[in-house]
Structure 1
């Protein structure tokens, strides 16, 4: 179990900008220290937070699809096909967290955002990492008022980079609201500091949950007879969800049997509740 944030950080008392900045800084530092240990499956953690951020982005854009529908749209669509508006939002977030932060990678993840804009974004300066992220949100939305998803992805990229992370970790994306994104100046900065604390409140227990799940899955691998079980386990621990067909080094039947066996051992979940087109995750 990861110890939760101290109550004084999460208390919803009236705050000045300086107090909010102090609290967000403390929360982010605590998160960095608490999740630095190897047991936290970092790629899975990032991808699960990307799903949460995509849900928020979809709501902000006026869509009603939840996590299950967004997973289906992305994971059950054939390569090269259009996953639809909600699936595209999840695809942008998932691509953004999948590789180290760079101009080229973010340009491939974000549709319609010029590499020059991304380069300027990553070079933004400010007194704190969250202040830099707030500047990014304001700049992107000034240029494109409907660009909420790119604004949040780029803001989290800047925040993650300022915290010394190689990969984007969605913290603001799962916590910001449509109302927050309509703010400007110091009001937006205050909203971002508060959202950073909320983001840490979501990310911290999730990291602990996934670390325990990863330990259970790895402990179950030696009990399995299937060839490639260890490789399959590491793939499962690298993403929010997958279809058995993603285990391309196994036959379809063997992949389905492996996933069902892991469900039977209590170390994997079937996420859809369906008899066909199933998706699995820790």
Structure 2
């Protein structure tokens, strides 16, 4: 696979944007939609080969976007900020609430390699044999196979939107030869499309993949630039456990200082974790995501 090699003088990768024709205008013919979704996936596949791109972080941030869609489909109104709070500010062992559980499910799904066993651990209510048959299903296109998996779960469990979308994106990723689930259908499929069946649902999935891949490409370009700044700042850090902290920030959408201290247990106190986060903000390598003075969350 050819790797993109264009970089700016300061070492920041210049990842090419998705061609405008891929997502431009409404598409009614399924053949045209399939061509566009295929082109979008091919473009994303090339970008994913760039070593500057923090793929784990891209997946986790797309998981946040997918969770927001699923929360909306369930009739709830929590946005991304509320979802982050529900997941990251809930004490270990406490219930993070419906929204937090949806984000936790997505975060676990994109972290585990795509496999029957891995998906069975996060998809409650979806039998392992259903997961296995979906991952091994044949079909003309990866998107078509994903649409079949989506329809199958929704037919048996009309209220199981989140599990259905996770499985659909898992089938898509598996069909493309990717080791981990990349949320694409889920970040762009309209909730009303979950009521469609047959060719109408397949058309909606092709449209969603083209749009979702476009979102992923734009996000990838932004994260690649931010990752360069984080890696450049790493040698300036003197705190014990700083190397592990940098690894976490390059892999997770958001990190609370308390969680950071737990991850590097024995090397960093809560106060030291907060100081490290603020130091990275001062260096321009990290953002504080909440805008609050307390209960802060940090991420690229």
Give TM-score, length-normalised by structure 2.
0.91
**Separation (CA, whole Å) in 1 of partners of 2:39 and 2:21:** 10
Corresponding residue SS for 1:168: coil
SS in 1 for 2:146: helix
Does residue 194 of structure 2 align to residue 198 of structure 1? Answer: no
Deviation at 1:165, TM superposition (A): 0.4
2:237 to 189, 204, 224: 224
* Cα-to-partner distance string for 1:28-72 (whole Å, 9 max, x where unaligned): 011101221111101100000000000000001100011111111
Aligned-residue Cα RMSD (Å) equals 1.1
User: 5+ residue gaps in structure 1?
Assistant: none
8 Å CA contact 2:59, 2:181 repeated in 1: yes
**SS of 1:173 mapped into structure 2:** helix
Structure 2 SS opposite 1:240: coil
Higher deviation after alignment, 91-100 or 218-227: 218-227
Instruction: Name the SS for the 2:188 alignment partner.
Output: coil
After TM superposition, which residue ranges in structure 1, 4 or more long, deviate above 6 angstroms? none
| Counterpart mapping for 1:54-93 below 5 A | 54-93=67-106
* Alignment pair present for 1:156 and 2:154: no
| Contact in 1 for aligned 2:27/2:33 (Cα 8 Å) | no
| CA distance in 2 between partners of 1:122 and 1:80 (Å) | 32
Q: Is 1:279 the counterpart of 2:297 in the alignment?
A: yes
Residue in structure 1 matched with residue 64 of structure 2 by the alignment: 51
Q: In structure 2, what is the Cα distance between the partners aligned to 1:144 and 1:86?
A: 19
Q: Distance in 1 between matches of 2:80 and 2:23?
A: 26
Gaps spanning 5+ residues in structure 2: where? 1-13
Structure 2 vs 1, CA of residues 13 and 115 (structure 1 numbering), >3 Å: closer, same or farther? closer
Contact kept? 2:134, 2:149, Cα under 8 Å: yes
* Shift in Å, 1:112: 2.2
Q: Secondary structure at the residue paired with 2:187?
A: coil
Q: How many residues align?
A: 282
103, 122, 143: which one aligns with 1:130: 143
Pairing 1:270–2:288 present: yes
Choose 262-271 or 1-10, whichever is displaced more.
1-10
Q: Tell me, yes or no, if structure 1 residue 251 matches structure 2 residue 251.
A: no
Asked if residue 213 in structure 1 is aligned to residue 216 in structure 2, the reply is no
Tell me, in whole angstroms, the C-alpha distance in 1 between the residues paired with 2:126 and 2:48: 32
Secondary structure, counterpart of 2:185 in structure 1:
coil
Report the Cα offset of residue 111 of structure 1.
2.2
Shift of 1:277: 1.3
Shift of 1:126: 1.0
